[in-house]
A and B are shown apart, each in its own frame.
Chain A
């Protein structure tokens, strides 16, 4: 038998599922009852997307309650593929029940519970395991299960303490002490910290073995430091840190922070320190100063800790009002610059100290201004770059006039070109030391664009940064800036080209795909058959699938290897990816594009609906990385990231929820799947609700609108204004769209509810389809015998009266006309981005109308339910929508013809005269102009053609 099964495994291993199915079928003829072959066939089926057939087989084998290792492993993969993690628990539990001495089965039962974060059950399994197998580690499995249950946000506070106490009892019950391994020790300390059992913690930590663990385990030492701090032993910790610094030459900044905290401990301990405390602190400061000064002297340029610690000391002394030297802070900053100014990190290091006022600020600025630029070595060059960054950071709004900024842009560009000479001989894979000057100039050009709203500055930025890339191909910072700029300019394909050069992989998709996929449907040509952005969405989403399938494995591994410190971290990691905001922003963009590309049918409607309902239950985590954008804008101004957001609005969870509601409501109305039907047909587990339970029903939550989603006007104070601008996440055009969609859904809801076939009819139809496909009836669905008024075409007549037909609401009836006016107003804006934004929103509104009215296209439905008067009202809206879209399309075509002409290129090149005058080659700039204008033409024309195509299909 084993010999016969081997080819099946081999086929599965290399991914030829078809061959595996054929081999299984052959063997099943001879051994029709064999569980392993059936399980393997189910696996091959689920991997070939034949879900229904796989389900039947899988359930068959499960019903037999298998215990064989091979069968269980195969089924485990099948269940994982089907998302049925709860069934996995049942399967292993059953097997373990039958073989209570089988340690492997016990462990699998534990892991299956861990997989669904059912820590309570996991802890019980661990207890049983310890009783049966007498291994200490199972005590610890129970310990961490109790802790993880305690840490769950759904656990009540008093329960939390109880669970920690249980964990503590378990640890102390272990026959071997926790310190025999660092991870057990770590776990033990975590419990003691939570329960504030500090004496016990100190006894452990001050033992020789405790000290030894902390000296080689950073994680344990972190906990130790924390426990000391919580006990208020700041002085003690400070003294320890000082020893580590002076005797062991430790330069971990955490040690310096401990010394600093100790220095000010006499002031921090009481809310209003008296004079005595102040005097004591002053003398402490003097001592610490001496220590740091000595270190700074000793280390010189080798290590900057001492110097930076001096700065931090002075900053804190000032904060507490016990600094006795008004010059010291700026003097220390100058010294820092003199010694560390030739390192790239100098700017970042000094950034926290730059918020100077009055005389300090003047002194510091004039010091920086007094420096003479030099280009003799890369060290000099870095010093120059640092001085620019530091100066720029402190510029006030008054300094940011357009003429002053223009001068700066010219200066940085000119110095950049000068600095390039230093890197002339570098290999092409190296970064140019002068890169940051180009990046600085790029920042200034963007700031100029913001001040003037004149696009010519973005042209300069693009051309200069493109030039910088020819010298420093690997500068990802330059590329990331260009991606933003090209999207602003309405040249999305060029942005995408740069993005692809970065070779974003794996988890980077989650943090960086926002660069090109944020509101990507604006630029999508999916309607005319170009799937570039759809593909990009799918690629970026791969990481979420692999996370769901793999991360759990590593949690099991960490249990097996007893690396308890990692388990909570892995769970957080998995959760952050699973509930990633970016994941579902991409999901929405994908849906918006998909609806333009595929014919809108009930299949799409049902599938997307179920997925979006899952998404709606998630509590989202924002993992997007915006810090990666190089930002050298002054403190007083917006950051580069904020300045270059498309339409000035960042999509956040408010934006996502607004869109989710729009689509869920529309799809729900278009779909025959009501909740009872969905419950029966759903394969796999429902997601664990991660949002705090709302008192409202799902239906009401869909209708609810928070201030975050609508752009309700809260009158902001000037200081709040900047944050609030970002806070209002929908653009004004999106808000109009959302209002339209809501009005449309409110209007049509009663008619959909009336005309939707009853669940029994829908289920009967589904059962029929399944049986046709798999030859087996649909499980768990009983088909009631047909009564007189049930008919299979879904137009069952209800007893209730047809709801009163009302007129289309204003917002719906006027939407297309209003948007036509709006489009007229933006059709000639310099960058096509805004034009396309409005155009694609009109298109989206039309498609949403198609989704909402699909049900009423079937004449029998209209007739049976007497909805003729309603359908009459659709016609003018639809016709008007189509007419407006046709006009939009032809306007866009005209625009696209203007986009890539000699005149446009000349305009671009002329606008770049400031950098051309500084010797950036004219023809090079012309090349950039061509690239940008061609990309503009491509997207405008493509969107226009897509709209025309949609008009034809839905005419």
Chain B
């Protein structure tokens, strides 16, 4: 039960309950305005009936030819609204637009290799690891070594990729340097 609507510039005045959370970055306003000035249909928010923001997704379309795809750049839900299935609805919308409007071959995203909860959720939604990107993130100073700095690039094919060429079964073993990815 939430309102799904476009993310707008003025949401930056309202997103504190989401962004004060440790794991959500607040970027320079230019970051948000750049996304909105280019892919407004891949940026949307969920709000409670009261208007309070619950979560949002910011995405873009990028790549050449067979690599043309939708990308999830930011996906976040306020702590008090977790475990309600909001993230999956936001992702579903981004997939729908990537498929219908942009005609992309797949949707992809990066996730820290230690973020088991998120990885499990993405897998449930049909995403699989395509490759492992070394040292993509800064370390959090935890105890899981490499896994903390590395990212999984996870992908899900869209209708245009009928042959499912954008996914592969052994993605977790495919190591690439962070300089090889966009």
Tell me which of B30, B40, B52 contacts A563 (CB under 8 A): B40
Instruction: Give the secondary structure class of A's interface.
Output: helix
Tell me which of B1, B34, B52, B83 contacts A303 (CB under 8 A): B1
**Cα of A219 to Cα of B40 in the assembled complex, Å:** 9
B10-18, B123-131, B159-167, B174-182 - interface stretch: B10-18
On whether the beta carbons of B1 and A557 are closer than 8 Å, the reply is no
**Cα of A27 to Cα of B13 in the assembled complex, Å:** 48
A345 cross-chain contacts in B, Cβ below 8 A: 48, 80-81, 84
* Given A216-B97, A474-B21: A550 in contact with B1 (beta carbons within 8 A): no
User: Does A277 lie at the interface of the complex (its beta carbon under 8 Å from any beta carbon of B)?
Assistant: no
B1-30, CB < 8 A from A: 1-6, 8-10, 12-14, 16-17, 19-23, 26-30
**Cα of A505 to Cα of B14 in the assembled complex, Å:** 14
On whether the beta carbons of A506 and B28 are closer than 8 Å, the reply is yes
On whether the beta carbons of B20 and A502 are closer than 8 Å, the reply is yes
**Cα of A623 to Cα of B13 in the assembled complex, Å:** 6
Q: What string of 1s and 0s marks CB contacts (under 8 Å) between B85-107 and chain A?
A: 10001000100110011000000
* Given A554-B33, A563-B38, A625-B14: A506 in contact with B27 (beta carbons within 8 A): yes
Q: What string of 1s and 0s marks CB contacts (under 8 Å) between A301-312 and chain B?
A: 011110111000
* Given A305-B1, A348-B48: A217 in contact with B33 (beta carbons within 8 A): no
CB distance from B26 to the nearest CB of A (A): 5
On whether the beta carbons of A511 and B13 are closer than 8 Å, the reply is yes
On whether the beta carbons of B40 and A572 are closer than 8 Å, the reply is no
Range of interface residues on chain B? 35 or more
A93-101, A249-257, A769-777 - interface stretch: A249-257
B22 cross-chain contacts in A, Cβ below 8 A: 429, 474
**Cα of A308 to Cα of B84 in the assembled complex, Å:** 14
B38 cross-chain contacts in A, Cβ below 8 A: 557, 561, 563
User: Does A242 lie at the interface of the complex (its beta carbon under 8 Å from any beta carbon of B)?
Assistant: no
User: Does A811 lie at the interface of the complex (its beta carbon under 8 Å from any beta carbon of B)?
Assistant: no
* Given A182-B101, A543-B29: A566 in contact with B37 (beta carbons within 8 A): yes
* Given A218-B44, A343-B84: A251 in contact with B1 (beta carbons within 8 A): yes
On whether the beta carbons of B29 and A511 are closer than 8 Å, the reply is no
On whether the beta carbons of B40 and A512 are closer than 8 Å, the reply is no
User: Does A845 lie at the interface of the complex (its beta carbon under 8 Å from any beta carbon of B)?
Assistant: no
**Cα of A476 to Cα of B38 in the assembled complex, Å:** 33
CB-nearest residue of chain B relative to A558?
B37
CB distance from B91 to the nearest CB of A (A): 14
* Given A218-B44, A507-B29, A627-B52: A302 in contact with B3 (beta carbons within 8 A): no
B149-171, CB < 8 A from A: none
B23 cross-chain contacts in A, Cβ below 8 A: 429
User: Does A831 lie at the interface of the complex (its beta carbon under 8 Å from any beta carbon of B)?
Assistant: no
A584 cross-chain contacts in B, Cβ below 8 A: none
A570 cross-chain contacts in B, Cβ below 8 A: 9, 33, 36-37
CB distance from B139 to the nearest CB of A (A): 13
CB distance from B148 to the nearest CB of A (A): 12
Tell me which of B5, B12, B79, B100 contacts A218 (CB under 8 A): B5
**Cα of A555 to Cα of B27 in the assembled complex, Å:** 18
On whether the beta carbons of B16 and A628 are closer than 8 Å, the reply is yes
On whether the beta carbons of B1 and A253 are closer than 8 Å, the reply is yes
A628 cross-chain contacts in B, Cβ below 8 A: 16-17, 20
On whether the beta carbons of B49 and A554 are closer than 8 Å, the reply is no
On whether the beta carbons of B37 and A557 are closer than 8 Å, the reply is yes
**Cα of A182 to Cα of B84 in the assembled complex, Å:** 31
CB distance from A546 to the nearest CB of B (A): 7
CB-nearest residue of chain B relative to A344?
B80
CB distance from B163 to the nearest CB of A (A): 24
On whether the beta carbons of A554 and B1 are closer than 8 Å, the reply is no
On whether the beta carbons of B30 and A554 are closer than 8 Å, the reply is yes
**Cα of A345 to Cα of B83 in the assembled complex, Å:** 10
A508 cross-chain contacts in B, Cβ below 8 A: 16, 19-20, 26
CB-nearest residue of chain A relative to B102?
A216
- A sample of 20 cross-chain residue pairs with beta-carbon separation below 8 angstroms, ordered by A number, consists of A216-B41, A217-B97, A252-B3, A253-B3, A302-B85, A304-B1, A344-B79, A345-B84, A348-B80, A349-B1, A429-B140, A511-B16, A546-B29, A558-B37, A563-B40, A569-B8, A572-B10, A625-B14, A625-B16, A627-B52
Q: Please give the residue numbers on chain B whose beta carbons come within 8 Å of chain A beta carbons, in ascending order.
A: 1-6, 8-10, 12-14, 16-17, 19-23, 26-30, 33-34, 36-38, 40-41, 44, 48-50, 52, 79-85, 89, 93, 96-97, 100-101, 140, 142
Kindly list the 5 A-B residue pairs having the minimum CB-CB distance in the complex, ordered from nearest: A573-B9, A554-B33, A305-B1, A476-B20, A558-B37
